[in-house]
Amino acid sequence: MMVAPSQREPRNGVSVVLRDRRILNSRLLEVLTRAGHTDAIVIADSGLPIPRNVELVDLSVCCGLPSMLDVLACVREALVIESAAVAHEMREQPVYEQFIAEMNGTPTEELSHEEFKRRTTSALAIVRTGECTPYANVLLIAGVSF
């Protein structure tokens, strides 16, 4: 089995933010491996504007594939998440209840959509999904496993 370089040599010999290695997409895995404590990673719907200075990992295939919730579930299994932020407009969307359940009590801040977009400018990366639900975006703050 071939192992990606980011899997062979975690930062300082130990990955402190990754839980496991189930993610198959090499670019997404590389971004998660690079994440340090308090780094922001955004899982975005297909319409969120991408700031020029922020790395884009584009997973979108077509409308709905993959969904934001599917990608969030995979990332949550791999990344230690300290907190999250969403636009308060997401409350009105059908994905909101599933999102809250998936976050399983993780502290989640609600912001205006404009403030959410401002915060994406300092993200380590934005992961674009095929989600076509408005405001279905989440900004994750990486935590540590100790």
Residues designated catalytic: 37
Answer yes or no: are the C-beta atoms of 144 and 37 closer than 8 Å. yes
* Residue given tokens 């912001």 in the structure block: 111
Answer yes or no: are the C-beta atoms of 84 and 139 closer than 8 Å. yes
Q: Token digits for 12? A: 């300082």
The Cα 5–Cα 130 span in angstroms is 28
Residue 142, H or E segment: strand 138-142
Q: Residue 106: helix, strand or coil by DSSP?
A: coil
What residues contact residue 130 under an 8 Å CB cut-off, 6+ apart? 46, 59, 60, 61, 62, 63, 64, 65, 66, 67
